[in-house]
Amino acid sequence: MGGRPLALVLALCWLLQAGRAELTFELPDSAQQCFHQPLERGTKFTLDYQVIAGGHYDVDCYVEDPNGRTLYQEAKKQYDRFPHRAQVTGVYTVCFSNKFSTFSHKTVYFDFQVGEEPPLLPNMNKRVTALTQMESACVTIHEALNTVIDSQTHYRLREAQDRIRAEDLKTHVSYWSVGETFLLLAVSITQVMLLKSFFTETRASTGAVST
């Protein structure tokens, strides 16, 4: 692994201390990128990923446990979600592969969440009494904000994907316009030369008859 992939792995491990990692990285053609995270038995984790640029917007993905057993494997997926609870303690591996692509590199986004969300209020899970009106309002607002964050992430990815597609379309249109310009120029020059040859032949024939 080079310096950049190593930096990505370090960033992932650092972010997972807070229970969640969101990364967007470049995956070159015919390449594979893996991330590793130690987990305790019984820890819940969720993997969300999406290809936002490159080729047909697809990638291979698989998840392995510390014993090398494949927990999840999908080929040529644009996006997917995989929730799981760790059965053994050790280092879990998440890999994204673009080995099936020879020419196009991909831009991949993934969100890796570890552990349960901590309770919003102290001893909330152990309480037997009903929540007060203020506490209920706080919980409702918290859930609404989580929904807003997820929606913002979704629309941000869609915006990035649509923007990249628009830029690709703009590039193709520009190339097509340049090609059409050269084609029209070539046709115009050909027509001028053809018409010029007709008048040259006519003048030559007239001179021969006069003589």
Tell me if residue 202 falls in helix, strand or coil.
helix
What are the tokens at 93? 């591996």
Phi, psi torsion values for 118, nearest 5 degrees:
-65, 150
The pTM of the full predicted model, rounded to 2 decimals, is 0.62
- Give the pLDDT confidence of 188-198 residue by residue, as tens digits: 898 888 888 77
**Do residues 108 and 35 lie in contact, with contact meaning Cβ atoms separated by under 8 Å?**
no
Q: Which amino acid is at 181?
A: T
Phi, psi torsion values for 173, nearest 5 degrees:
-65, -40
Residue 203 has pLDDT above 70, yes or no: no
Angle value at C-alpha 63, between 95 and 17, nearest 5 degrees: 80
State mean pLDDT over 154-175: 80
Which residues does 56 contact at the CB level (< 8 Å), separation at least 6?
Answer: 76
CA dist 104 → 26, 58, 86 (Å): 11, 11, 34
Residue 200 has pLDDT above 80, yes or no: no
Share of the chain above pLDDT 90, in %: 33
Residue 57 has what DSSP assignment? S
Distance in angstroms (rounded) separating the CA atoms of residues 175 and 187: 18
Of 36 and 115, the structure prediction assigns the larger pLDDT to: 36
What are the structural domains of the chain? 3-116 (2.60.120.380)
Residue 117: the pLDDT is 67
What's the mean per-residue pLDDT of the chain?
79
- Give the pLDDT confidence of 90-101 residue by residue, as tens digits: 999 999 999 998
Residue 78 has pLDDT above 50, yes or no: yes
Confidence of residue 206 (pLDDT cuts 50, 70, 90): low
What are the tokens at 158? 């869609």
Confidence of residue 201 (pLDDT cuts 50, 70, 90): low
Share of the chain above pLDDT 70, in %: 78
CA dist 160 → 24, 49, 96, 126, 147 (Å): 11, 14, 20, 43, 20
Confidence of residue 74 (pLDDT cuts 50, 70, 90): very high
Residue 207 has pLDDT above 80, yes or no: no
Phi-psi region of 76 (alpha: psi -120 to 50; beta: other; left: phi over 0): left
Distance in angstroms (rounded) separating the CA atoms of residues 98 and 106: 8
Half-sphere exposure of 73 (CA within 13 A, CB side): 6
Residue 15: the pLDDT is 44
